[in-house]
Amino acid sequence: TTQQGDHPETCVQNTNYVSTSPSSDHFEETTESTFNHPSTANEVTDSNEAANQKADLSDQPANESAEVPVAENVTVDKSIAMKFLQIEANLCETLRDLVFRDPVTHVYNPLDYARETHKDYVMKYCCSHKDVLFLGMNPGPFGMAQNGVPFGDTTFVKNFLKISGNVTPPALQHPKRPISGLDCKHSEVSGTRFWGLFSTLCK
């Protein structure tokens, strides 16, 4: 997508369709493990178990609260993350030869220069089946454009998501949009709201 308006004399092109990692990456690597993940209160997977829990609660005094299990087993499958990275890489290669004419003067490809932090994010959080998918319009100039993480406000990327890695700024940068990677001091408004919400829900 093309951003216009911040500086009328130029146009900054932000795109995340660029190779996520060099061809030497081993996308076939797979590992599996399990961990406990909190489920929502309305998720009931076994009606008999739920009935037994209800019966147990009825036997307890009114002034005592019962502990009801609310955890479910989630399978962690790293091959999901590797397949996702491979799909990204294929799409990026398809779009690599695109040529932009005036007024586009700068092209930012965060999945290229921020591939390490992006891959760290995918490997940590794209490793199980998801029920909800959030989509953003384009990489924010102080978010994903800086570190390759969707809605990537730097504070939440480092402190909440625990993402690490090197970001190598592109050779051609617009003076109003320098790339600082995980050292970016600007706050990404959408990222602050997005990850701020989940940091509250996941306490």
Whole-structure pTM value: 0.64
Comparing CA positions, the residue from 172, 166, 174, 173 lying closest to residue 21 is: 166
Check whether 170 has a pLDDT greater than 60.
yes
Length of the chain: 203
Q: Indicate if the alpha-carbon torsion angle 189, 150, 177, 100 is positive or negative.
A: negative
pLDDT tens readout for residues 121-161:
999 999 998 888 888 888 899 999 999 999 999 999 999 99
- How much is the pLDDT for 130? 87
Residue 152 and residue 89: Cα distance in Å, rounded?
20
Residue 185 and residue 155: Cα distance in Å, rounded?
9
- How much is the pLDDT for 124? 95
pLDDT tens readout for residues 111-127:
999 999 999 999 999 99
109 or 162, higher pLDDT: 162
The distance between the two most distant Cα atoms of the chain, rounded to a whole number of Å, is 75
- How much is the pLDDT for 111? 92
90 or 17, higher pLDDT: 90
Secondary structure of the chain as H, E, C letters: CEECCCCCCCEEEECCCCCCCCCCCCCCCCCEEEEEEECCCCCCCCHHHHHHHHHHHHCCCCCCCCCCCCEEEEEEEHHHHHHHHHHHHHHHHHHCCCCCCCCEEEEECHHHHCHHHHHHHHHHHCCCCCCCCCCCCCCCCCCHHHHCCCCCCHHHHHHCCCCCCCCCCCCCCCCCCCCCHHHCCCCCHHHHHHHHHHHHHCC
Residue 161 and residue 176: Cα distance in Å, rounded?
27
